[in-house]
Amino acid sequence: MKENKGMTLIVKTVIKFLAPLVILFGVYIILHGHLTPGGGFPGGVVIASAFILLTLAYGKQIAEKKMKRSLAALLESTGALFFLILAVLGIFLGGWFFSNFLPKGEPLKLLSAGFIPLANIAIGLKVGGGIFAVFLALIIFRIAGEGGKEQK
């Protein structure tokens, strides 16, 4: 009965190969946010879209094994908190809110631009976790709504 859930075998097979690549692309967009176009927000949404693909293709149960809703919500809160902590650390280490307290490094290298990559990672976690959590909440709402109609 498990095979009947979700979409057809073709979609499942394609997404099995595609989802890791999509996640990798999202991580690339986040980590290279200070070098190439992109940043925390688009990268986070790309990662969330990979999990949304998994949910659409394999059904809710199997996707929830990979990433639970509570875990997604936890990641979101962690990202937001991390971003705020970075901002407050700026007061103590750099002098003002959101001061760039880490060394700037050499431009056009991956480890440069002070705390900007860290802030990108924080925003990526926040956006990715948040959007996937909302998507799961909407799907559960839909299923519950249909169940309610059947009872009546």
Q: In the complex, which residues of this chain contact other proteins (CB under 8 A)?
A: 29, 33-39, 41-42, 45-46, 48-49, 52, 56, 73, 76, 80, 83-84, 87, 97-98, 100, 104-105, 107-108, 112-114, 116, 119-120, 123, 126-127, 130-131, 133-135, 137-142, 144-145
Q: How far is the CB of 51 from other proteins (least distance, A)?
A: 11
Based on CB atoms, which residue is closest to other proteins, 95 or 145? 145
Q: Can you give the C-alpha Rg of the chain in angstroms?
A: 19
3-state secondary structure of 29: helix
Q: How far is the CB of 29 from other proteins (least distance, A)?
A: 7
CB-facing half-sphere around the CA of 6: CA atoms within 13 A: 21
Q: How far is the CB of 2 from other proteins (least distance, A)?
A: 22
Separation CA 51–CA 10 (nearest Å): 18
Q: Quote the Cα angle for 46-115-90, to 5°.
A: 130
